[in-house]
Every structure is written in structure tokens, then in C-alpha cells.
Structure 1
Amino acid sequence: MKVEDALEIVSQTDPGMVRSHNEDSVAQEPACGLVVLADGMGGYNAGEVASGIAVSVVATEISHRLQEASPVEYDEETGEELGVSLLRSNIQKANASIYHASQSQPQYAGMGTTIVSGLFYDNRLVAGHVGDSRMYRLRGETLEIVTRDHSLLQEQIDSGMISLEDARLSKNKNLVTRAVGIDAEVVPEIHVYDVQLGDIYLLCSDGLNDMVEDGDIEATLYAMQGNLPLAAEQLIQMANDNGGRDNVSVILVKVKGDFAVPRGWLTELLNWFKK
């Protein structure tokens, strides 16, 4: 089954109840199984510009490359599968584009963005992120966080300085330790996961998880897994009902079928020898 037939993808974004404009950006490329979400930061409209650049570069470059190549091909430059190297290199390309714009245009000085992205192929997910926009996975009745926030608060939790309970009340929630476009280079965190039939993946900006407890997100996704558009709408409504202090964006991806990449024995043998 083609990846676009095996996945159901829904996205929604909202400015929230406080902000006058939306600095989040989302994109989906169903034909190659790609989803991207970014949460911009910076004065005036600079955050919106940064997130827009990030999403556009990653979505455009990867979808274009995968029109002529398979994501399971071996990348001779990196020694990785092409799908993995494409996600990493294009997040870095987005970083360079944003950094250049911020350095050359005074109105964009200091702008940056988080990013969380997923590339689905061959019954797997390549997840890449920078910053504190998250990816969750609902498998069965259990919601898990796939990504780990690049934030001061997460570092404090990991070191034992602060408990999870106290973290919910912390004023350091939005202090990221890594972002796209702030420095000349960035190191995206990339992981590969096997997917299962029925999995639901949620990508979101912190406007959702800062406003809605993980338990409530879990209950909503489980109850509405048969209606993803309604689930996305409900999640955003919950964030707004709880104050909506930030822009809130969600992308939902449900695995509905098998999307293994067909391979001949010769392709498998060649890839094995290249490794």
C-alpha cells in the first residue's frame, strides 16, 4: 500500500485566546509520508517568518527529493538510509536559511523556531526535532512522549532538581536550550521507530501541552480515534478553554495500513554490500 493510502493525516492551528497573530506553522506531504510543525519565536512577525521558513524548507526539499528516490536507499555521504539523512540535513538547511535572514535583515534579528517532524516510510517513523515542540504516540490505550524537550525545564527534571509535579507549575517552561536559526549550526535529534497498525501520532506546539494535561490528551485521542478531525478540533478547544495563552497547533497521523517499501532481492543485496 502506498504511504498516502496507509496514513490518515489531519492538521489544525489556532492563534489561541491571547496572541494577536499565529507564529506556528504546519505542513503535510501525504505522498511521501511527511509532517512538519514549527513554533516560531522573535519580535513583531519574526517568529512567524522563522517557522514558515523551517516548515517550507523541510517540506519542499524532502518531497522534491523523494519524487526521484526511495527513502530506503543507502546514502553514501552519511552511511544512513536516505530518509534519515534527508530529515537531518534539511532541518540543518532550514537552520542556515533562518540564521542568514536574521543576520542580514535587522527586523529579523534573533528570530528562531522549534521544529518537530515525522517521515513515515517502510512501516517506520523517522522523528526529528529541535526545541520543545513535541511528538506523542497513542498505542492502544497508552499515550507516550516520543520526543524529549530541549529545554531548561527538561534538564532540571533529568538532573532531579525538580519533580514532574513541580515542573507543571514552573515559570521556566518556555526556555529552550536548542532552537532552529539561533546559531549558525544546529544538531537535530533524530530517532527511528517501528509503527504498528492503529498507532496515532500527535505533533504539537507547546501551546497544547502547556495548557492540557497529558492524561486529558490521552483520553481525548483514545475516545476520538475514529474521528481525527474532531479530535484535533477538541484538543485545540481544550487548550483555549484552559486559557489559550499561546498559539496552539496539532498534527494527527493514524496508521491505517501496511506501507512497507517493496524491494527486490537484488536491491537488498546491493544495500547490504554498500554497508
Structure 2
Amino acid sequence: MKMAYRSDIGRIRLVNEDRAWTEQTDTDLVVAIVADGMGGHQAGDVASQLAVDTFREALQGTPSTLTLDERKILIRQAILQANEAVYDMASRNKQYHNMGTTVVAALLQAENGVIGHIGDSRAYKWRDGVLSQLTEDHTLVNELVKSGQITAEEAVNHPRRNVLTRALGTDELVEVDVRGIPWAPDDLLLLCSDGLTTMVSEEQISQTLQEDELDLDAKADRLVSLALQAGGDDNITVVLLHHADDTEQEE
């Protein structure tokens, strides 16, 4: 497995409220998470860091013998534990009132994987030249598109495109979307915050991922650079996981 992780504050924001973590465990499980925090007075970075830390602790020591269904339960439980931790801190501290975060996470084995998410941070899979979005944004504009009130093109520049319908930590109870995915040699998984996807088109992402002369780190750098060139309106975080024989991680 090859892994690359990049995060950039962008050109507008004063604080990077994105957090991410990825690791290949001793049992050959690959775990990754991206969280995009929100909340005033730097509460967003507190929320995203707490979510990542809680998720990581919940998955420590996970055996590789778990079935796909067991890993679905595990990733849901880990994200719900993160929700509980963030909600509890926000409830007990006035300065963190209403803080929250998006989350998109992956738990991968050799043949398959599990994706869990809340919010509008996304997961994509790249296989055989085709980019597939694995997550569905929990946003107001996505609900409007699904109901036919606006078009997908109108959603791109909609004034309320950043309004989430679901986030981690803002409510005591939250629903986590979880799905299993096939995971085969040479597949590539992209986890990212919306600082990438609001600035960079899926066509540009595809063009970057198919560049054979770029290694995984260079592809992550290219994606962040494209978002910055397009304006860098938000923090940008990219995690790339490549189903390859050798193992390396660059940060």
C-alpha cells in the first residue's frame, strides 16, 4: 500500500481546520480519515482534531480477521464515538458551542474496504481510468438537486452550497453513511475535504490521477496546487491510498 497526505490552509482562511490521519497497522489493515472542522473562534480545528483522535483510538488493535460486515459495524461505532466526544466537549464549553466537523473515513483490507462518512468531505475510487464518487454530500444543495429543485450545474455556485444537513458533533445523535467497496490491486482511493472538490473539477482530478509520470506524492501535490490556483477559498486536504505491493508513506 502506498499512502500520501497533504493539507494546505488555502489562500483565504487564517486557520487550517482540516485534520487527517492514515496508517497501515501491524495486521495489514489500512485506516484513513479526513475531517473538516467548523465553528467560530477556532473551534473547528478543535472539533476535527478531537474527531480524528477519537476515531484513531477506537480502531487501535483492530484484528485483520474481521469480516466486511464486522468492519462496517466497527467504522460506524468509531465515528459515533467521535460524535459523542465532540458533542460532549461542545456541550461543556461555551467557546465550543455548536462546533462540529465533517468526516470521511476508510478501513481497507486486501480484497475490500469500508467507507464511512458524515457531511461533504468525499471519497472517490479511481479504477481503470474511471473516477467514481463513493459518498453523497449531506448538504442542502444536494437535497435540492435530488428533489429536482435545482440542477447540478446550479448547485456549483449556489449561495447556500456550504450548508450541511448533517455533521459530526453538532447533535447528540447522528446517522453515519457506511458502505462496502471492492478493493483490487492498482485501485486508488481519494479522501478529501470540500476545499478540493469546490475548486477542482472531477475531470481535473481524473487527469491528475492518470498521469503515469507522477508518483503518488506528486499527484497529491498537484491536486492541492490546482485548488490553490483556482482561488484556494478553503482549507484543502487530500489523502491518496494506492493498492500497491510496496509500502510507503510521505507527509
TM-score strictly above 0.5: yes
Q: TM-score range by the shorter chain?
A: over 0.9
Equivalent residue number for residue 60 of structure 1: 57
Q: Distance in 2 between matches of 1:213 and 1:87?
A: 29
User: Offset at 1:163?
Assistant: 1.1
**Which one-letter code corresponds to 1:46 in the other structure?**
A
**Which one-letter code corresponds to 1:39 in the other structure?**
D
Equivalent residue number for residue 15 of structure 2: 21
Equivalent residue number for residue 41 of structure 2: 44
Q: Distance in 2 between matches of 1:71 and 1:242?
A: 44
Instruction: Show CA shifts across 1:52-82 (max 9, x none).
Output: 01111111220x231xx33525xxxxxx733
| Runs of 4+ off more than 4 Å | none
TM-score normalised to structure 2 length:
0.93
Counterparts of residues 101-140 of structure 1 (less than 5 Å): 101-140=89-128
Q: Distance in 1 between matches of 2:214 and 2:157?
A: 33
Q: 1:229 aligns with which of 214, 217, 223?
A: 217
Q: Which moved more, 1:177-186 or 1:192-201?
A: 192-201
Q: Distance in 2 between matches of 1:225 and 1:37?
A: 27
User: Given the alignment of the two structures, is residue 213 of structure 1 paired with residue 201 of structure 2, yes or no?
Assistant: yes
User: Offset at 1:131?
Assistant: 0.3
TM-score normalised to structure 1 length:
0.85
Equivalent residue number for residue 100 of structure 1: 88
Q: Is the 8 A contact 1:71 1:121 kept in 2?
A: no
Distance change (3 Å), C-alpha of 1:38 and 1:71: farther
Unaligned runs of 5+ in 1: 1-6, 74-79, 259-275
Distance change (3 Å), C-alpha of 1:84 and 1:71: farther
Structure 2 residue matching 1:192: 3-state secondary structure: strand
Q: Distance in 1 between matches of 2:185 and 2:156?
A: 33
Report which of the two has the higher share of helix: 1
Q: 2:2 aligns with which of 2, 8, 30?
A: 8
- What RMSD in Å do the two structures reach over aligned CA positions? 1.5
Q: Is the 8 A contact 1:70 1:82 kept in 2?
A: no
Q: Which moved more, 1:196-205 or 1:225-234?
A: 225-234
Q: Distance in 1 between matches of 2:42 and 2:115?
A: 28
Distance change (3 Å), C-alpha of 1:132 and 1:224: farther
Q: Distance in 1 between matches of 2:65 and 2:15?
A: 36
